[in-house]
Chains A and B, each alone.
Chain A
Amino acid sequence: MRTYIANGWKSVKDQFYVIIILFLYQLLWGYFLYRLVESAVVPLLMRYPDPPPNQLSQALYYIEAQMGLSENSTVHAYLWILLGIGVFRMLLTPFIQAGILYGLQQEYKGLRGLFFFQGMRRYGKSIFIFHIVEWILLAAPAYWLLPRLYHVLISGLQSQLLFLNGVPYVVAWLLYGYIVHQLLLYMQFGKISGSGMVSSLWIGICNSLPIIGISICLE
């Protein structure tokens, strides 16, 4: 176990270029997102009347904010932009994943170099399919969960404590998502290393406990 973890950290050192690329990637997104949030939040904060010049001022602020959520086109534009960012990043993820995995695979074979973009080109599409499968599997429980969560939301608006009723559903969903992700990850390992998806999946299942342990440590 310890050698595996140690080998893992050695890989990190070897994959340094990939790490730099990903770091820059995340940095750019973070900056863009911050600027977006700033443009929305600052005007709202500057308009919040405290101390309120009139006893109605703060109440009117909340009423108008709530109405704005459902009716204001600027609010809708922001929500669409956020959705767009989310979708775009989700679409890029499989390619990034492919690049990383291929790089690790090449390192295992003993080759050194930046195989990131080569990996993207070679395995991008197949990893994309994996991700589509993952997303479908993740979204599947929504069919049963969303009506239930909707009820919790409505009842929670009357009494905040009732929101806690939703927690087990959310936790179960997150757990399910984690399991699906890990299983598919192992299948991706198998695909890229050429040793077969099913056998990798089997390895993942057999070694699930240590895998979970490592995940928790890393988090």
Chain B
Amino acid sequence: MAPARAKIIFSFVLALCLLIAGAWWLFFNPSADFHSTFAPEKAKLPASASVPEQQESVQEPTAEILSKRIVEYHIDAKLDPTKRVIQATQTLTWTHPGKKQ
């Protein structure tokens, strides 16, 4: 009885010690690798400017008319990526470019 329980308690305490030691080692180990896995963004961003910011240049339509505009579409579309579906409504104005009735 007593030796068995002692064994259990002893194993428990040993495991706890190992856990604490491991955590201590992990968190406070001066090795650079571990630090970088926990703070990657801070280390990398200043060094490289390769993460571009999403630039959105906004423009206005010009008044110049270059083509014979036969069609005018106004479309409102919604993408559902999980179903891979686009639901949309559109208004189309078509100008008859010929002469026939």
The answer on direct contact between A and B (beta carbons under 8 Å) is no
Interface residues of A (CB under 8 A from B): none
Q: Using CB atoms and an 8 Å cutoff, list the residues of chain B in contact with chain A.
A: none
